Amino acid sequence: MFSQERSKTNSGIINIFEKIIRNHPLLYYIARSFVRHTNIFEEDANGVKFLKFNKAINVIDVGASDGIASKFFNQNLNVKKIICYEPNELYVKTLRKLKMKNLIIKPYAIGNKNESKKIFFPRYTFFSKNLDLIPYTYYDKKTLITQLKLDFKFLKNLKIIEKKLYLKKISKFNLKIDLIKIDVNDNGLSVVKCLHKIIKLNKPALLIETDVDINQIDDELKKLGYDKFSYSTKNNSFSRVNKKFPLNTYFLQKKHF
């Protein structure tokens, strides 16, 4: 299964801070809890600011987690509505506490068909308190374990929890969708297939976290007239992806530039 060293999500001091907190699960958990109260998000997401949109836009955020991406879009783009798909109960509660009147919360996962799947995530025990590292939820246990070994130096008191997740298929939307963000740890292809009709009809810009199925996602979106791009914060510019995919891949059409 696919696993990789994580690319830098930020640069400078923030990048150094990120490396430090990823040394230990407890530091990561604390930092993640702190970040949700800030406006910090992955640097390459800044590319959305340079995309061409007409008037106010509607956004779909799949794998919305605690809302850091949705907050970023709301603060940096002219957003009408943001539809968040997030199955984790803790994150759903967090999303509901956000003071965003244009947020629509869908408390479930989506996929190409209605089905139940096993998911695996790490739980860190600290003085008898269980701290779940939900951003590390994977559909494959081996992939999760490999990724944890790559990201963290200290794995003591960390165990893998198994649960079942129900995925729901959706086929239509009442809103015109302009931007889709997908961050679902190796289930992106299923989400893209689920949203196929919406993508074909509305031709939105897509920002997808690069995972094991990125090449298959690329093949699917090519059929709909998309090309793959990375965004450079250094040059404030997009470039076509040739061989190595970035941390987050933009799938765009000519109309987005």
pLDDT of residue 5: 44
What pLDDT, in 10s, does the model give residues 76-90? Answer: 999 999 999 999 999
Q: Does residue 153 fall inside a structural domain?
A: no
Q: Does residue 123 fall inside a structural domain?
A: no
Confidence of residue 14 (pLDDT cuts 50, 70, 90): very low
Q: Does residue 144 fall inside a structural domain?
A: no
Higher pLDDT, 2 or 96: 96
Confidence of residue 65 (pLDDT cuts 50, 70, 90): very high
Query: What domain range includes position 181?
Result: 12-109+171-256
Q: Does residue 152 fall inside a structural domain?
A: no
Residue 22 pLDDT exceeds 80: no
Residue 238 pLDDT exceeds 90: yes
pLDDT of residue 88: 93
Q: Does residue 125 fall inside a structural domain?
A: no
Overall number of domains in the chain: 1
Q: Does residue 3 fall inside a structural domain?
A: no
What pLDDT, in 10s, does the model give residues 128-146? Answer: 899 999 999 999 999 999 9
The CATH number given to whatever domain includes residue 90 is: 3.40.50.150
Q: Does residue 146 fall inside a structural domain?
A: no
Q: Does residue 225 fall inside a structural domain?
A: yes
pLDDT of residue 214: 96
Mean pLDDT along residues 60-71: 95
C-alpha span between 228 and 66 (Å, rounded): 27
pLDDT of residue 18: 61
Q: Dihedral angle at the C-alpha atoms of 85, 119, 138, 115, nearest 10 degrees?
A: -60
What pLDDT, in 10s, does the model give residues 142-170? Answer: 999 999 998 898 898 999 999 999 999 99
- Cβ pair 200, 175 in contact under 8 A: no
pLDDT of residue 28: 86
C-alpha span between 89 and 22 (Å, rounded): 24
